[in-house]
């Protein structure tokens, strides 16, 4: 009986290592069909899942409550599974080089609890070659088993889009790779249990690893191009959003728009490619240039805010600025690698400490990670400038009556409205008496 058949007949279990924005949806989806063990080293997170609380907001509390996933922070429970999926984060170091610490730690945990006949599949973003060069030696050392003989490995890049309720796990084609033909078919069949869109088999683990890095590097470059246009159009006094709308009337327009590029994928993955390319003696030009542009956008936006305050006759050091949104993207509580923090840091250089609110972010995480005390939306009063930094649906629903209550209520005081993602109509905003700026 194949491992796939064992899993289908509930004679073998699947384990998920890492229950964050990627791992949790995978665990819950598989649990509807087969037996699943969900492991995470974060005991607090496991405690919340056991109570039916979803801190990621990816699947929702009700689904977590009903799920049959066996949540645990006891690594020995992993021994009960034979198909292991690793979905831990792969961040970068301060010097922009890959930080493989989480994936190395996950490999050690699995290795200590690996049994013969198992398959380990990595979903975490890595540079081509990392799974075989870094992870296999750790698995072999910790388990005492031989890869290719006692266990096998594979790779399937995660494609989950946090906060997206349309392009979900089941509806996205899954790229899969195995160390040989047998493991490839086993891995593909297991994923086909839940992936309605189907799987795409590739010839090697390196190809699958490269696929993920390339996907996000491509998006990063396209957004960088739009950001560069936005910076130039700002000097030309042209509304970038209007140009983009006109461009998108052409059938082959790519429909990208300028914005802050953060998070744990697009803002990180290109550095994995750049770092590995440099090891091979090649200095990436286009990808590196795109990264530099996108990394500098927070400072550019902050400088634009200062300029607008000056034009509105505000005393910069005394100006009160409020920022709506801290997460790295809309409708998602994830604040990892958010570029809003770059705006805040730059404003502080000008003597401005903005007040910050967010409809989704965890106040404890904001305080722990960035030292920011999030306030409630209703607490924003007497401001000179409002910065809509993240296009949460809840912010798009706000009325100008609500905005008006946030600003200082003094006659002839100009109100500065910064709409980074251009979610409000500039003509409407200006007609309401605001000084308006957007990317």
Give helix 240-247 / helix 205-236 axis angle, nearest 10°: 120
C-alpha closest to that of 336 among 109, 46, 22: 22
Q: Is the Cβ–Cβ distance between 71 and 48 less than 8 Å? A: no
d(CA 40, CA 435): 48
CB atoms within 10 A of CB 242: 12
User: What is the full DSSP assignment across 47-96?
Assistant: HHHHTT--TT-SS-HHHHHH---EEES-GGGGGGEEEEEE-----B-TTS
Please report how many Cα atoms fall inside a 13 Å half-sphere around the Cα of residue 113, on the Cβ side.
20
d(CA 263, CA 258): 16
Q: Is the Cβ–Cβ distance between 300 and 308 less than 8 Å? A: no
d(CA 397, CA 342): 26
Q: Is the Cβ–Cβ distance between 319 and 385 less than 8 Å? A: yes
C-alpha closest to that of 42 among 17, 12, 76: 17
Q: Is the Cβ–Cβ distance between 356 and 323 less than 8 Å? A: yes
- Locus of tokens 């990063």: 220
Strands, DSSP E only, in 310-405? 321-324, 355-357, 385-388
Q: Is the Cβ–Cβ distance between 10 and 82 less than 8 Å? A: no
User: Of 135, 147, 265, 332, which is the active-site residue?
Assistant: 265
Backbone angles phi, psi at 66, to 5 degrees: -85, -15
Sort residue 382 into left (φ over 0), alpha (ψ -120 to 50) or beta: left
Answer yes or no: 135 catalytic.
no
d(CA 129, CA 135): 10
Q: Is the Cβ–Cβ distance between 75 and 142 less than 8 Å? A: no
Q: Is the Cβ–Cβ distance between 46 and 56 less than 8 Å? A: no
> Which tokens sit at 337?
């690698």
Q: Which residues are catalytic?
A: 265
């Amino acid at each position: 009986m194949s491992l796939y058949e064992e899993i289908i007949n509930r004679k073998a279990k699947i384990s998920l290592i890492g229950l964050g924005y990627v791992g949790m949806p995978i665990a819950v989806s598989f649990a509807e069909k087969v037996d699943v063990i969900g492991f995470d080293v974060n005991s607090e997170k496991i405690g919340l899942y056991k109570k039916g609380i979803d801190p990621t907001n990816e699947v929702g509390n009700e689904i977590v409550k009903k799920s049959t996933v066996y949540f645990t922070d006891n690594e020995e429970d992993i021994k009960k599974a034979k198909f292991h999926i690793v979905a831990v984060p792969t961040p970068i170091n301060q010097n922009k080089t890959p930080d493989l610490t989480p994936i190395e730690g996950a490999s050690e945990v699995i290795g200590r609890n690996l049994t013969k006949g198992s398959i380990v599949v990595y979903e975490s973003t890595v540079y081509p070659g990392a799974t075989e060069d870094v992870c296999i030696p750790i698995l072999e050392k910790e388990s005492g088993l031989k890869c290719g003989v006692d266990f096998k490995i594979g790779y399937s890049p995660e494609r989950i889009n946090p906060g997206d309720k349309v392009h979900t796990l089941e509806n996205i084609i899954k790229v899969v790779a195995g160390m040989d033909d047998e493991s490839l078919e086993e891995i593909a069949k297991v994923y086909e249990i839940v992936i309605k869109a189907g799987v795409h088999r590739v010839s090697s683990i390196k190809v699958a690893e490269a696929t993920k890095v390339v996907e996000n590097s491509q998006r990063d470059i396209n957004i960088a191009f739009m950001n560069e246009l936005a910076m130039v159009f700002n000097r030309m006094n042209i509304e970038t959003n209007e140009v983009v709308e006109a461009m998108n009337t052409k059938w082959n327009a790519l429909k990208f728009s300028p914005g802050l590029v953060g998070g744990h994928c697009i803002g990180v993955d290109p550095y994995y490619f750049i770092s590995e390319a440099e090891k091979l003696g090649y200095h990436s030009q286009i990808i590196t240039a795109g990264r530099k542009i996108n990394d500098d956008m927070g400072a550019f936006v902050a400088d634009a805010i200062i300029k607008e305050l000056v034009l509105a006759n505000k005393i910069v050091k005394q100006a009160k600025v409020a920022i709506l949104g801290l997460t790295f993207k809309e409708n998602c509580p994830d604040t990892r690698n958010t570029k809003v923090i770059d705006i805040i840091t730059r404003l502080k250089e000008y003597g401005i400490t903005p007040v910050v609110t967010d409809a989704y972010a965890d106040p404890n995480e904001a305080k722990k990670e960035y030292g920011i005390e999030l306030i409630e939306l209703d607490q924003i009063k007497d401001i000179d400038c409002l910065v809509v930094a993240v296009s949460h649906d809840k912010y798009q629903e706000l009325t100008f009556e609500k905005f008006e209550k946030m600003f200082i209520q003094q006659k002839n005081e100009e109100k500065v409205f910064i709409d980074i993602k251009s979610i409000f109509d500039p003509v409407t905003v200006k007609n309401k008496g605001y000084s308006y700026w957007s990317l």
